Copies of this chain bind each other. A is one copy, B any other.
């Protein structure tokens, strides 16, 4: 399988007027295209694949902010402007990075059976969390116009297959997927923000909390926050797995609906 995968969304700034900013057609060509090159000029010394790979590597190692065209060019040993022979602009590159990385979870594990829809949801949530932990910069990319790359389609297909057994209507299945993914992304974002803050300030979480404590204690003693002041010691302990808690609540909530529908079907069959 030839093509690198991908999809994407646009993300950039500046209300640049003219010039082909946001050339969707070009983006799609890069995402799905075969990449047959015209045979007139000299052979390209680079490939899109290498550029995307380098970009993902830099983003994984040093964050999305470190991914600049200049940085990538030195990483690849070329001139900065050469990159623009392969990618129309940076936002398109982000699109490609996005779809590249979305394809990972399915490349990993082979086939295996989802068995139960509960397990499918569980696996979907864990898989997504895993991807986001591996590539926290995914959370900073505009996902709006990214949905339709090959990797994204493949993921959606797999998810839907696993949820088939719920017996819900199609829009509801999409609702299930979105609810789970939204929840996971929220948690992942919190974790990613924390890691980023540690990296940027050089201050650990404990040190940060210690800094806050005097202000916080004064606030508690003020009487303005009675609920918070009366909370148990272990309330914010890391022993409590908030991912597990939320996921189980979601699954339980889905289960209620699934049972309702099953009951309705049974009733209407009489």
- Where the two chains meet, the residues of A that have a C-beta atom closer than 8 Å to any C-beta of B are 1-3, 8-15, 21-22, 24-25, 28, 31-32, 63, 65, 140, 142-145, 148, 150, 153-154, 156-157, 160-161, 164, 169-172, 174-176, 178-179, 181-187, 189-190, 193-194, 196-197, 200-203, 208, 211-212, 215-216, 218-219, 224-228, 231-232, 234-237, 239-240, 242, 245-246, 248-257
| Inter-chain contact B202/A8, CB cutoff 8 Å | yes
Instruction: Tell me the smallest distance from the CB of A168 to a CB of chain B, in Å.
Output: 10
Contacts of A11 in B (CB 8 A): 196
Contacts of A194 in B (CB 8 A): 144
A-B contact pairs, 7 of them (CB 8 A): A10-B197, A24-B208, A145-B197, A182-B183, A185-B185, A248-B253, A252-B253
Instruction: Tell me the smallest distance from the CB of A259 to a CB of chain B, in Å.
Output: 10
Q: Given A160-B227, A160-B228, A235-B170 in contact, is the A144-B186 Cβ separation under 8 Å? A: no
- CA–CA, A3 to B66, complex, Å? 11
Contacts of A178 in B (CB 8 A): 186-187, 190, 242, 246
- Other A-B pairs beyond A153-B219, A169-B232, A182-B182, 4, CB < 8 Å: A9-B193, A157-B224, A174-B235, A250-B250
| Inter-chain contact B157/A227, CB cutoff 8 Å | yes
| Inter-chain contact A10/B228, CB cutoff 8 Å | no
Contacts of A208 in B (CB 8 A): 24, 145
Contacts of A22 in B (CB 8 A): 197, 200-203
Q: Which residue of B lies closest to A175 (CB)?
A: B245
- CA–CA, A157 to B194, complex, Å? 22
| Inter-chain contact B202/A164, CB cutoff 8 Å | no
Contacts of A143 in B (CB 8 A): 189-190, 193
Q: Which residue of B lies closest to A171 (CB)?
A: B240
- CA–CA, A251 to B246, complex, Å? 11
Tell which of B25, B193, B234, B246 touches A179, judged by Cβ atoms closer than 8 Å: B246
Q: Which residue of B lies closest to A241 (CB)?
A: B175
| Inter-chain contact B245/A249, CB cutoff 8 Å | no
| Inter-chain contact B2/A142, CB cutoff 8 Å | no
Q: Which residue of B lies closest to A198 (CB)?
A: B144
Contacts of A211 in B (CB 8 A): 24-25, 28
Contacts of A169 in B (CB 8 A): 232
